[in-house]
Structure 1
Amino acid sequence: MATFLQRLGSAAYRRWPVVVAAWLVALIGVGALAAGFSKPMSDTFSIPGIPSERAATLQQELFPTAVDAFDQASVTVVVQAPQGQQLSDPAVAEQVGELVAALQGLPQMPPADVAPLADPVTAAQAQREQLVGAAVEGGTPEEVAQANADALSPLSEDGTTGLIPFTFDVDTVADVEPATVEALTDVMDDAREGGLTVEANGSGLQTIPHLGGTSELIGIGVALVVLVLTFGSLVAAGLPILTALFGVGIGVAGITAATAFTDIGSTTPLLATMIGLAVGIDYTLFILARYRSELEHTDDRRQAIGIAVGTAGSAVVFAGLTVLIALSALSVVRIPFLTSMGIAAAVTVLIAVLVALTLLPAVLGMLGKRSFGGVVRRYRPTRDAEGRVLNNGVRWARLLGKRPVAVVLLVVVGLGALALPIRDLYLAFPTDSTASSDTTQRQASDLIAAEFGPGRDAPLAVVVDARGLDEEQAGAAFGAVAEWAGGQDGVANAQVVATNAPLGADGAPTGPATGAQVLVTPATGAEDQDTEEVLQALRDGQSGIEEETGTEIGVTGLTAITVDVSERLASALPIYLAIVVGLAFILLMIVFRSILVPLTATLGFLLSVLATLGLTVLIFQEGALGLMEGQPIVSFIPIFLIGLVFGLAMDYQVFLVTRMREAHVHGMGTREAVVDGFRNSARVVTAAAVIMISVFAAFILIDDPIIKSMGFALAVAVFLDAFVVRMTLIPALMYLLGEKAWWLPRWLDRLLPNVDVEGEKLERPAGSTGRRDPDAGSGAGDREPVSAGV
């Protein structure tokens, strides 16, 4: 492989006009396809196979007009009278009436004659009369009917707080325009001026977090500073960022163009942008650093870029493959939006690899001796008696070599201690009740929980299919299911809220009902583990009530769906981890021709991920140090964390240890090879890690709990894995293993392909092993002035 990549890099350098033109044509072509044929991205949330999805399908069969819970842009406005007053007081009622009229006039509201809004007092009276009267007439005891009416009442028991629910007239939540939400906010602000307390929650207020903006600019700004310090050249510092942005541009344009052929979620480009930018900078940085190093040994820049692409480029290929595996393996979770995000990000990473291997050499060929122009400082390293660079990487490696056992114990015990809080890990989807306390969603949820009970915002829907029963049996079955559900521990109320009986013009039933919906109100909120236990109890008893009533039932609703998705993610995590680690282990064996090196790399990664999750639980779930309000960890963070960080961790492993392997192949013992690997790679790996930490940490500034926790977890994981594991634990273990680190059974050695990542077979110019004078000016050919090196 090294020989092929050497030729590829040399050819791209020599024929740079063709290569640059080809990439520009690709960008323009993909962009044209995206502009001319793309379709709106889909926000359909469907998880085939989970129980709540099957129940939702049954609900759709029995109630064709039912709307998917994730597509319904519902809003509940909570209004509370001033202290000491009730909503029925004349002055307060007048203000509430003005609020209702203003809400009715919001953009994207259904027509008033189709879905009229009413103030909570009037709505509660009408609802009580209708529900209690109909229930008593149907044989329900009056006290039960009264309790059922109270459970659905939009007015609190003391008359001070009311609910005004409505649903925007849109197909999906994503169709709610920002201007609509702003108009709702203005209406609530106007009502507050009159002394009312007005808050709102619901899916209609949700917006998809947008990652484009200040966070990326901060990350890119830090990356630019780090690259300037690394290369000492403004031109060289800009190359990794420009090529990474170019690759991400093609990737995102390709994702947009793909909407012409398949449904793609609107969140899909987010992961592709994040990981594409990260690896794009990394891969270009590593090859550019190797190219700069080779220029100290030869005046032939084409030969230098060929060797750089043949060696560092080989490491880029295998590092990229580990990322591709980690992202593509997201498909094993069997959640469509995760699959599309993983595949789209994997394609973007593939583009980043191709850009680093071909476009970078072509741009270097175009720039020629100006590749390291804009010098801001010159590199004047300290050298030992043999002329080898003596830098901080060498000093750190030698320090670790003095007490390797102590280093290993310190790292393992330290990371293990950080991982301890993971035993309390609680995964769940975010809800309005877990939002920041200063948001209207959280304040509305707190008001509802206080005045109506926490379960009011976490209903479960039991769908009852009685198509095999006659009218009398069906009616009895509906009542039996409601009574059974209401008798479960942790259930505040359960009642039949709808049947599919055909209705005449006067609203009276004209035929038998074959299906019903039973609304189950838990005594606890959506994020509470007790609510999950209620859902599990309903499902555990499902077969019994079905046999007793002769019906088929299913439990669905937003709360049930999010619980099922969390369980799907949790159950898929071990399988995902096994696939990713297993395939990556095989790749690393091929790269390093060793069993123990991949084993230590994998175990080190597990330590860093467990420690990261422990810290995330401590800070975000437990609220330690008062930095965050305690709330459950978002269900998909662990699998995303593993996927993203595993790829980056293996990047650092490959780039650092391949230089050790290269030194070992060329005759050095293991201890000397470790030091030489740090001499040549520690500075670059440090720069890459600092850049990634900065990019991810910048997302902590976004005022969204999901993005904030993901940014924190990714930044901490990269820090722990790059500096604690790759640059501390791994070299200490290499010292302890000695020559055994490179042990590989002969039979396995014969089976594994020899890819020559270390470039042992590369053709090098005569005398290229000699060191050029770093202060030499430009001489023969187009030798470049030396700036700050790496």
Structure 2
Amino acid sequence: MATLLYRLGKFSYRHRWLVISLWLAVLVAVGGSAAAFHGTMSNNFQIPGTETQRMLDKLKADLPEASGGSAGIVFEAGSSGFDQAGKDAVAAALAKLEKLPTVQSTVNPFETQAELDKAPAAVEQGEKQAAAGNAQLEQARAQLAAGEAQLKAAEEQMAAAGLPAAAIDAQLGPQKAQLAAGKAKLDAGRKQAAEGAEKLALAKRQLQASEGMRFVSEDSRAAIAQVQFKTSINALTPADRQEVQDISHEVSSAGVTALASKEITEDVSQLFGVAEIVGIAVAALALIVMLGTLIAAGLPLLMALVGVAVGVGGTFALTGVIDMSSISPMLALMLGLAVGIDYSLFIVNRHRGQLLAGMDPEESAALATGTSGNAVLFAGLTVVIALAALVVPGLPFLAVMGLSAAATVAVAVVVSLTLTPAVLSLIGPRLISRRAWAKAARHNAEPGHESADRAADAAKSNRGWGGLVTRHPVWSLLAGVVLLGVLALPASQLRLALPDGGSEPVESQAFQAYDLTRKSFGEGVTGPIVVVGELPGGLSDSEAVNKQLDVAEELRSVDKVVAAVPVALSPATGSDGHRTAVFQVIPQDGPASESTVHVVSELRAKGSDIAADTGVTIGLTGQTAGNVDVSEKLGAALPPYLAIVVGLSVILLLLVFRSVVVPLLATGGFLLSLAAAFGAVVAVYQWGWLGAVFDVANPGAVLSFLPIILIGVLFGLAMDYQVFITSGMRESYMHGENARQAVRSGFSHAAAVVTAAAIIMVSVFAGFIFSHLTMVRPLGFAMAFGVLVDAFVVRMTILPAAMYLLGEKAWWLPRWLDRVLPDVDVEGASLERAGARAGAPDDAGEAKELVP
């Protein structure tokens, strides 16, 4: 592979304009495709086959008008509450919203609250009327009974007097007819009273069902309106969302503030924000400091931007045909920038060192591609495999996320191996400053400088951080393990959920809407649970309504359920009757809270009792229940995915380093850094530690798919640093140094470039900690922190200390396994053996060292 990459580097160097033209053509093609075919991104994390998806499909079939997404708009008046002008302004805005093509209907909070407020009085009035009617019926019944008794006595008296039956009937006939009419009237009254009693009982049950529901706050300062859309929330375009907000904000003319919920305000169409640009600027500064010139620093940045443009642009082009979450291109962007800069830096740094040592520029670019490029290829392959393995859990949105990020990383690798040597050919000697050239010329002109350089390298390897760690290996190893162990302690409290409005920035409209709703109506109103019931066949209207109320009573009996309100009933279809009922269940706490997760579980467990008692089969759907499903599925997928990644780590490192111990050390270090990253995320985003620093105003559960993504990404990046550090140690060991000195030499040669790469990657990831998309923030933090501890604590402290202690044992490999394993030659030693380079420095490590 090293020889093939050497030839590829030489071809790219010689045919620079062809390579550059091809990449320009790819950029134009991808950009045109993204502009022409891109669709709307969403944050739809539904999983096909789950109960939530089945119930949603049922709603689309039976009650299409209730299957679209819904969202809240909360209106806030001044301290005196809503006046008539404010109420009229809200009503006008809602009426205008109903005319939008995307809106199915709206619920006026004042009209609905007025009906709820009138309901108790209406029921009381009905009870009084029913009591008065019953009293009248009783009086009429008593009068009829007295009339019947009188008529019977008169009939007996006439019969005793000897009058014939015909005479009796003729004489008492009018009284009998009058009595029969009275009976008929009484029966009609009784029937009417029974119907009234049935309606009154139904009204009482409906009143009971609406208990706990309010649309206007007790102090009349807040009102919440529901907007039902014709499509899912995720299908709304940014223009649709903005139009809803603009119309809502028209109420400001009446002194009313409108605050739309997160479902409406969330705009996932924009990738870059100010924070991301700052992160790239910090990375650029690190490159300038490390490489010495703007041209040299700009080259890795340019390569990363080309890779990101192609990878993310291709991802955007597919949004028209693939349902893609907003996190997919963001993850691809984060990784593409970070690895794109690092991979190009490794090749540029090697080329720069070789040029200063006097190597021919073309040969140097080819050799850098064959050696450092070989390590880049392997390192990139580990990231690609780890990300592509996200298809294993079987979650469609996660698979799309992993594959899009893997494709972007793959593009970054190809850009580094082809476009980098082509641009190096174009730049020529300008890659290095005149001062550095002059210093190198003086140094190379000195007689015997090769021996002096080797002596200087040996002395240097005993100094610095590597020298300190290897002089005190036991303490270094213990300190590193203890530090990561302490950082990992909060990870035991990890709780997963998808974010709600409470996780948004405090100044955002979404957070203000969430906060006002929580304070005025209860936190559960911010995330209601939708329950769908399948009714038995053949029910009449009244039977269906009563059956619906029976189910609502059962739902209200679940602990920490504030209200369970019937909200819709499918139309009767012939003899089948009403078949589908919809309920809105309001939990006590917010949608991302632990108690709401228990409510969802309890509601599902209650399903068997409801079916036994009422004959109604229930299922849960909606955003809250769907988010709980996603979090549970992701949590269940973590152990097998981690096992796949760890197993892959051991096999790949066994191939690369031909050692049993090194893969185990690398994998153990990866697990330590992963646990520490989890612990830091829990401390900051779940417990709120340093919340003011990281803008975490309302700490809560951790983003549900953060752990599985972090495992894949951190594994790949950790293996990058493992390859670049340990390959130098193995190279020194294979060149004849004793095992312990090889640890120092290899560390010395790789430390500077790995330090630069880690700083750059942490800077890029840290830029996303303050992203305009709050869902991305904990992911950026986790990646930045994970890379930080893995690079500096695991790879640059624990690993060299452990390998120094092990000595020769670190490179132990059974003979039979040595014969079976293929030689992947990550260090590019085959190039040296084949004599593929000319005029290269004798010391293999000299080319690796970052020249100041």
Calculate the TM-score normalised by the size of structure 1: 0.88
1:604-623 paired onto structure 2 within 5 Å: 604-623=669-688
Per-residue Cα deviation, 1:15-65 (whole angstroms, up to 9, x for no partner)? 323322222232233334444455555665431132222222233333233
Determine the structure 2 residue equivalent to 1:187. Answer: 250
Work out whether residues 311 and 408 of structure 2, in 8 Å CA contact, stay in contact via their aligned partners in 1.
Answer: yes
1:55-454 paired onto structure 2 within 5 Å: 55-68=55-68, 72=69, 74-82=71-79, 85-87=80-82, 92-102=83-93, 104-105=95-96, 109=100, 115=105, 118=108, 120-126=109-115, 137-138=198-199, 140=201, 143-157=204-218, 159-167=220-228, 172-173=233-234, 174-177=236-239, 179-180=242-243, 183=246, 186-187=249-250, 189-191=252-254, 194=255, 199-208=259-268, 210-259=270-319, 262-373=322-433, 386-388=455-457, 391=460, 394-454=463-523
Per-residue Cα deviation, 1:419-470 (whole angstroms, up to 9, x for no partner)? 1112222221211234344434333333333333322223222211125555
Q: Which moved more, 1:343-352 or 1:365-374?
A: 365-374
Per-residue Cα deviation, 1:345-371 (whole angstroms, up to 9, x for no partner)? 111111111111111112222333333
Q: Which moved more, 1:409-418 or 1:293-302?
A: 293-302
SS class of match (1:65): helix
1:336-735 paired onto structure 2 within 5 Å: 336-373=396-433, 386-388=455-457, 391=460, 394-468=463-537, 470-471=539-540, 477-502=547-572, 512-627=577-692, 628-629=696-697, 630-702=699-771, 704-735=773-804
Work out whether residues 9 and 358 of structure 1, in 8 Å CA contact, stay in contact via their aligned partners in 2.
Answer: yes
Determine the structure 2 residue equivalent to 1:779. Answer: none
In the alignment, the residues of structure 2 paired with residue 719 and residue 602 of structure 1 have an alpha-carbon distance, to the nearest angstrom, of 17
Q: Which one of the candidate residues 823, 827, 846 is aligned to 1:754?
A: 823
Determine the structure 1 residue equivalent to 2:806. Answer: 737
Q: Which moved more, 1:650-659 or 1:373-382?
A: 373-382
Which structure has the larger Rg over C-alpha atoms?
Answer: 2
Per-residue Cα deviation, 1:216-259 (whole angstroms, up to 9, x for no partner)? 32222222221122121222111111111111111123223334
Displacement of 1:182 after TM fit? 5.6
Work out whether residues 73 and 202 of structure 1, in 8 Å CA contact, stay in contact via their aligned partners in 2.
Answer: no
Determine the structure 1 residue equivalent to 2:6. Answer: 6
The amino acid of 2:527's aligned partner reads A
Displacement of 1:656 after TM fit? 1.1
> RMSD value over aligned CA atoms?
3.3
1:7-86 paired onto structure 2 within 5 Å: 7-41=7-41, 45-68=45-68, 72=69, 74-82=71-79, 85-86=80-81
Work out whether residues 14 and 365 of structure 1, in 8 Å CA contact, stay in contact via their aligned partners in 2.
Answer: yes
In the alignment, the residues of structure 2 paired with residue 730 and residue 234 of structure 1 have an alpha-carbon distance, to the nearest angstrom, of 34
In the alignment, the residues of structure 2 paired with residue 262 and residue 135 of structure 1 have an alpha-carbon distance, to the nearest angstrom, of 56
SS class of match (1:497): strand
Work out whether residues 464 and 517 of structure 1, in 8 Å CA contact, stay in contact via their aligned partners in 2.
Answer: yes
Return closer, same or farther for 1:34/1:424 CA change in 2, 3 Å cut-off: closer
In the alignment, the residues of structure 1 paired with residue 401 and residue 317 of structure 2 have an alpha-carbon distance, to the nearest angstrom, of 15
Per-residue Cα deviation, 1:125-171 (whole angstroms, up to 9, x for no partner)? 23566897799754646554333334344223454532233246766
Return closer, same or farther for 1:21/1:443 CA change in 2, 3 Å cut-off: closer
Return closer, same or farther for 1:391/1:20 CA change in 2, 3 Å cut-off: farther
Displacement of 1:667 after TM fit? 1.5
Calculate the TM-score normalised by the size of structure 2: 0.82
Per-residue Cα deviation, 1:54-95 (whole angstroms, up to 9, x for no partner)? 222233333233324xxx25232233452xx454xxxx1223
Return closer, same or farther for 1:658/1:392 CA change in 2, 3 Å cut-off: closer
Displacement of 1:260 after TM fit? 6.0
SS class of match (1:700): coil
Q: Which moved more, 1:604-613 or 1:153-162?
A: 153-162
Displacement of 1:373 after TM fit? 5.0
Return closer, same or farther for 1:527/1:40 CA change in 2, 3 Å cut-off: closer
Displacement of 1:538 after TM fit? 1.5
SS class of match (1:76): strand
Displacement of 1:267 after TM fit? 4.3
Return closer, same or farther for 1:124/1:741 CA change in 2, 3 Å cut-off: same
Work out whether residues 209 and 553 of structure 2, in 8 Å CA contact, stay in contact via their aligned partners in 1.
Answer: no
SS class of match (1:716): helix
Displacement of 1:550 after TM fit? 3.4
Return closer, same or farther for 1:308/1:126 CA change in 2, 3 Å cut-off: same
In the alignment, the residues of structure 2 paired with residue 550 and residue 143 of structure 1 have an alpha-carbon distance, to the nearest angstrom, of 23
In the alignment, the residues of structure 1 paired with residue 41 and residue 503 of structure 2 have an alpha-carbon distance, to the nearest angstrom, of 28
Work out whether residues 200 and 441 of structure 1, in 8 Å CA contact, stay in contact via their aligned partners in 2.
Answer: yes
Determine the structure 1 residue equivalent to 2:133. Answer: none
Work out whether residues 464 and 554 of structure 1, in 8 Å CA contact, stay in contact via their aligned partners in 2.
Answer: yes
Displacement of 1:717 after TM fit? 1.3
Return closer, same or farther for 1:436/1:214 CA change in 2, 3 Å cut-off: closer
Return closer, same or farther for 1:701/1:453 CA change in 2, 3 Å cut-off: closer
Work out whether residues 501 and 513 of structure 1, in 8 Å CA contact, stay in contact via their aligned partners in 2.
Answer: yes
Displacement of 1:9 after TM fit? 1.6
The amino acid of 1:485's aligned partner reads L
Per-residue Cα deviation, 1:358-396 (whole angstroms, up to 9, x for no partner)? 111122223333333576898789976724375589521
Displacement of 1:657 after TM fit? 1.0
Return closer, same or farther for 1:340/1:488 CA change in 2, 3 Å cut-off: same
In the alignment, the residues of structure 2 paired with residue 387 and residue 26 of structure 1 have an alpha-carbon distance, to the nearest angstrom, of 46
In the alignment, the residues of structure 2 paired with residue 54 and residue 74 of structure 1 have an alpha-carbon distance, to the nearest angstrom, of 21
Q: Which moved more, 1:734-743 or 1:704-713?
A: 704-713
In the alignment, the residues of structure 2 paired with residue 771 and residue 743 of structure 1 have an alpha-carbon distance, to the nearest angstrom, of 26
Gaps of 5+ in 1: 504-508, 775-783
Return closer, same or farther for 1:321/1:474 CA change in 2, 3 Å cut-off: same
In the alignment, the residues of structure 2 paired with residue 521 and residue 729 of structure 1 have an alpha-carbon distance, to the nearest angstrom, of 51
Return closer, same or farther for 1:103/1:746 CA change in 2, 3 Å cut-off: same
In the alignment, the residues of structure 1 paired with residue 60 and residue 102 of structure 2 have an alpha-carbon distance, to the nearest angstrom, of 25
Return closer, same or farther for 1:453/1:125 CA change in 2, 3 Å cut-off: same
SS class of match (1:156): coil
Determine the structure 1 residue equivalent to 2:156. Answer: none
Displacement of 1:404 after TM fit? 0.6
How many residues are aligned here?
A: 760
In the alignment, the residues of structure 2 paired with residue 609 and residue 488 of structure 1 have an alpha-carbon distance, to the nearest angstrom, of 38
Displacement of 1:317 after TM fit? 1.1
More helix by share: 2
In the alignment, the residues of structure 1 paired with residue 48 and residue 792 of structure 2 have an alpha-carbon distance, to the nearest angstrom, of 41
Return closer, same or farther for 1:556/1:770 CA change in 2, 3 Å cut-off: closer
The amino acid of 1:753's aligned partner reads P
Per-residue Cα deviation, 1:509-543 (whole angstroms, up to 9, x for no partner)? 99821111122222222222111111111212323
